Structure 1
Amino acid sequence: MTFGRLCREWKGAARLALIAGFALLSGCTTYVHTQVAAFSDWSGTDATRTYAFARSAEQQNSIEQKTYEALVANELATHAFRQVPDADANYRVELSYSIRGDMITVRQPVYYDPWPMYGGWYGRPYGWGGYGAWGGWDMGPAGYVDQSYPVFVHALQIRMTDRASGREVYKVSASNSGGESSLLRAMPYLIRSALADFPLGNGTVRTVKIPLDKNGGASNETAVAAGTQSRPASAPAGVPVPVQ
């Protein structure tokens, strides 16, 4: 393999690594980090955990809504919830979700290549800036450029109300950000993070991390609340999300 080809391949890998580094603002390369906030007036027991989904007018005939409801139902089942007809349910569960695109600008160093005959390094002139004071080559950058990358913010809210009275008993919001432009691929991480350690105490704010396997999919390891004393929550396999 020629030096120029090696440089070109390294350039592509480095570019992907840079994007992955900003995929989630946490900067972690092995976890999806999700911010969670919960408000709770929960007093139910396992025996009363029956529910039905409630939909807005726009959600009534939505295939997307049904897809997300199936994912939520699977996760609720791990907390002893049973889905039943609305007339038999103790609780109604409402979902709201969104995705918003933005750009992040990163300042990067620019280097110059002392051996241009071997091809560019890292997609632009790269190499040593000059002979350093210590008798070796000076590795410092010749300047800096700003490069922008797309970032998408994924958000989910799960709201539970008492069916008989309409009283809100639990509301949890989850959000994360990264280079994934599909809400569907981010949704399993939002759902698992939102419902981990259910029910959370009123006013709980925390970050939940879910590990990825080496292929970028959801790991079989546990999802944990980063920086808290909370017990681990199970992390069943879900749709992979290509952000780390």
Structure 2
Amino acid sequence: MNIDRWTRRATLLLAALTVLLSGCTTYVTTEVTAFSDWSSNDAIRTFAFTRAANQQNNLELTTYERMVANELTAHAFHEVDSARARYLVGVSYGMRSDMVTVAEPVYYNPWPAPYWGRPFDPWGPWGPWGPYSTTYVNQSYPIFTHLLGVRITERATGKEVYNVTARNSGAESSLVRAMPYLARSALADFPLGNGVVHTVKIPLGTSGGAVNEMAATGAAPAAAPAPASGAKIAE
């Protein structure tokens, strides 16, 4: 799955800030984009996963499908064999890495001990004017962007009815560790309206747990069941 060129610079800048603040952050933040032609009064939500021929024995894909299936189940979906399914669900995923360089200040103390420092002065080790900034040093950090796409089509007609993409960036180098957050975020408020872009925040360490906060922008979501337990949505 490719990252749109026009979003790459903004993604990297945001990811750089994420790395710098990783010591105090407590959330995994994921951007979610949805395109939808979902009927709000559908009663039968049976589904089966569909794969390309070269993915039939892909264990990594199987692992991610189970995570997506768990989230779909929370929205009244029931997995059945493909011959009886009303919907076919396709899962795509990917990860890319980049290096981000950030200029960081370097400070020095022009009055080394024993000439400065408590209890001999009231201002601390730098006196009343410090610390003194001398220069900036470039520090490079690896940034990893994780992606998950979920595409739902009607089996009988082949019509695409829902297509959602979840994307997050940070210092996490493992896609499998990022995937629970991506899966929960992608389907956190299913079904979204067409063209909705919003941000989902899930507490770090909950493996895509139920508590999340959303800030939605764009079109209003389509009529849907209540959000997942604990979800908060700010429009």
Quickly name the TM-score band, shorter chain normalised: 0.7 to 0.9
Please list every run of 5 or more consecutive structure 2 residues that lacks an aligned counterpart in the other structure: 1-14, 115-123
**AA aligned opposite 1:48:** I
How many aligned residue pairs are there? 201
Partner of 2:152: 160
CA distance in 1, matches of 2:151, 2:208: 27
Per-residue deviation, 1:58: 2.9
Partner of 1:106: 102
Partner of 1:193: 185
Partner of 1:206: 198
Partner of 1:32: 28
CA contact (8 A) 1:21 1:27 kept: no
CA distance in 2, matches of 1:163, 1:41: 15
- As a proportion of its length, which structure holds more strand? 2
CA distance in 2, matches of 1:139, 1:24: 21
Of 21, 37, 47 in structure 2, the residue corresponding to residue 41 of structure 1 is 37
Of 172, 175, 185 in structure 2, the residue corresponding to residue 183 of structure 1 is 175
CA contact (8 A) 1:192 1:235 kept: no
Query: What TM-score does the superposition give when structure 1 sets the normalisation length?
Result: 0.73
Please list every run of 5 or more consecutive structure 1 residues that lacks an aligned counterpart in the other structure: 1-18, 118-126, 237-244
Q: Provide the secondary structure at the position in 2 that maps to 1:86.
A: coil
Q: Percent identity?
A: 58
CA contact (8 A) 2:33 2:198 kept: yes
Per-residue deviation, 1:59: 1.7
Change (3 A) 1:34 1:100: same
Of 206, 213, 227 in structure 2, the residue corresponding to residue 224 of structure 1 is 213
**AA aligned opposite 1:94:** G
CA distance in 2, matches of 1:103, 1:88: 47
CA distance in 1, matches of 2:160, 2:45: 15
CA distance in 1, matches of 2:21, 2:179: 18
- Structure 1 segments, 4+ long, off by >6 Å, are 24-28, 228-231
Query: What TM-score does the superposition give when structure 2 sets the normalisation length?
Result: 0.75
CA contact (8 A) 2:196 2:216 kept: no
